[in-house]
Amino acid sequence: MSMEVTAWESLYHAMHAQEDRRPFRKATLKRIATFAQPHRRQLGWFLVLSAISAGLAVATPLLAGRVIDEITGAGSTNVVVVLALIIAAIAIAEAGFGIAERWLSSRIGEGLILDLRTSVFDHVQKMPIAFFTRTRTGALVSRLNNDVIGAQRAFSDVLSRVVSNIVMLVLALIVMLSLSWQITVLTLLLLPVFVVPAQRMGTRLAKLEREAANHNATMSTQMTERFSAPGATLVKLFARPDVELSEFADRARRVRDIGVKTAMVQWIFITALTFVGALALALVYGLGGFYALRDQLDAGAVVSLALLLTRLYAPLTALASARVEVMSALVSFSRVFEVLDLKPLIAESPQARPVPDTPASVEFDDVRFAYPTADKVSLASLEEVAQLDVRGGQEILHGVSFRAEPGQIVALVGSSGAGKSTIAQLIPRLYDVDSGSVRVADVDVRDLKADSLRQTVGMVTQDGHLFHDSVRANLLLARPAATEEEIWEALRRARIDDLIASLPAGLDTIVGERGYRLSGGERQRLTIARILLAQPRVVILDEATAHLDSTSEAAVQAALTEALIGRTAVVIAHRLSTIRAADQILVIDEGRVIERGTHRELLEVGGRYEELYRTQFEQQDETPTDIPAEILPA
Within 13 Å and on the Cβ side, how many CA atoms surround 331? 14
AA identity, residue 608: R
The CA distance from 435 to 368, in Å, is 5
* pLDDT reported for residue 400: 93
Average pLDDT value over all residues in the chain: 79
Percent of the chain at pLDDT > 70 equals 80
Helix (DSSP H) and strand (DSSP E) numbers for the chain: 26, 10
pLDDT of res. 623: 42
- In the predicted structure, residue 438 carries a pLDDT above the cut 90: yes
pLDDT higher than 50, residue 625:
no
Rounded mean pLDDT, 416-436: 90
Transcribe 461-518 into DSSP letters. Answer: -SS----SSBHHHHHHTT-TT--HHHHHHHHHHTT-HHHHHHSTTGGG-B--GGGTTS
Asked if 541 and 571 count as a contact pair (C-beta separation under 8 A), the reply is yes
Q: What does the alpha-carbon distance between residue 608 and residue 581 come to, in Å, rounded to a whole number?
A: 19
Dump pLDDT digits (tens) for 233-259.
677 766 577 777 888 888 888 888 888
Count other Cβ atoms within 10 Å, centred on residue 215.
18
What letter would DSSP give residue 630?
G
Contact indicator for 307, 64 with CB cutoff of 8 Å: yes
Strand, coil or helix: 409: strand
Phi, psi of 458 (to 5 degrees): -115, 145
Is pLDDT larger for residue 19 or for residue 492? Answer: 492
CB 279 within 8 A of CB 313: no
DSSP run (H or E) holding 264 = helix 241-293
The stretch 159-180 carries a mean pLDDT of 82
Angle among Cα 304, 310, 316 to the nearest 5 degrees reads 125
* 97-112 mean pLDDT: 82
CB 352 within 8 A of CB 184: no
Q: How confident is the model at residue 576 (pLDDT cuts 50, 70, 90)?
A: low
> Cβ–Cβ contacts within 10 Å for residue 430, how many?
14
Q: What is the pLDDT of residue 614?
A: 80
Interval 362-420: pLDDT, tens: 999 999 998 887 777 777 767 666 566 666 678 889 999 999 999 888 999 988 888 89
Higher pLDDT, 327 or 499: 499
φ/ψ of residue 264, rounded to 5: -70, -40
pLDDT digits 0-9 by tens, 523-547 = 888 888 888 888 888 988 887 665 5
**For 298-340, what is each residue's pLDDT tens digit?**
888 888 888 888 777 777 766 766 666 676 677 777 778 888 8
What's the burial of 183, exposed, middle or buried (CB within 10 Å: 0-12/13-18/19+)? buried
What is the homologous superfamily of the domain 368-373+394-631 according to CATH? P-loop containing nucleotide triphosphate hydrolases (3.40.50.300)
pLDDT reading at 620 higher than 70: no
392: left (phi over 0), alpha (psi -120 to 50) or beta: left
Is pLDDT larger for residue 134 or for residue 453? 453
Q: Is 480 exposed, middle or buried (0-12, 13-18, 19+ CB in 10 A)?
A: exposed
pLDDT confidence tier of residue 628, bands split at 50, 70 and 90: very low
Q: Angle at the Cα of 396 (from 393 to 401), degrees rounded to 5? A: 135
417: DSSP letter: T
Distance, CA of 19 to chain centre:
20
Report, in angstroms and rounded to the nearest whole number, the Rg of the chain calculated over CA atoms: 35
Segment (H or E) for 141: helix 137-142
SS3 365: strand
For residue 359, what pLDDT is reported? 84
Spatial CA neighbour of 547 closest among 586, 575, 579: 575
Q: Which residues of 597-617 are buried (b: 16+ CB within 10 A; e: fewer)?
A: ebbeebeeeeebbeebbeeeb
Q: How far is it, in rounded angstroms, from Cα 301 to Cα 309?
A: 12
| C-alpha triplet 365, 367, 369: angle, nearest 5° | 165
Which positions ≥6 away from 614 have C-beta within 8 Å? none
pLDDT of residue 332: 75
**273 to 70, 100, 193, 266: CA distances (angstroms):** 34, 32, 8, 11
Amino acid found at 49: L
What is the per-residue pLDDT for 404?
92
Mean pLDDT calculated for residue range 552-567: 69
> Which pTM does this prediction carry?
0.67
- The confidence band for 446, taking pLDDT boundaries of 50, 70 and 90, is very high
574 pLDDT higher than 70 = no
Domain ranges of the chain: 3-340, 368-373+394-631
Q: Give me the DSSP letters along 279-323.
A: HHHHHHHHHHHHHHHTTSS-HHHHHHHHHHHHHHHHHHHHHHTHH
pLDDT band at 271 (very low <50, low <70, confident <90, very high): confident
- 339, 124 contact by CB (below 8 A): yes
In CATH, which superfamily holds the domain spanning 3-340? Answer: ABC transporter type 1, transmembrane domain (1.20.1560.10)
Confidence category of residue 586, pLDDT binned at 50, 70, 90: very high
Residues 142-158 pLDDT 10s: 777 777 777 777 666 77
User: Does the CA dihedral 24-29-30-34 come out positive or negative?
Assistant: positive
- Measured between its terminal Cα atoms, the distance across the chain in Å is 91
CB atoms within 10 A of CB 58: 23
User: What is the pLDDT confidence band of residue 611, given thresholds at 50, 70 and 90?
Assistant: confident
Mean pLDDT value of segment 171-186: 85
At 463 the pLDDT is 72
* DSSP string computed for 2-60: -HHHHHHHHHHHHHHTTS------THHHHHHHHHHGGGHHHHHHHHHHHHHHHHHHHHH
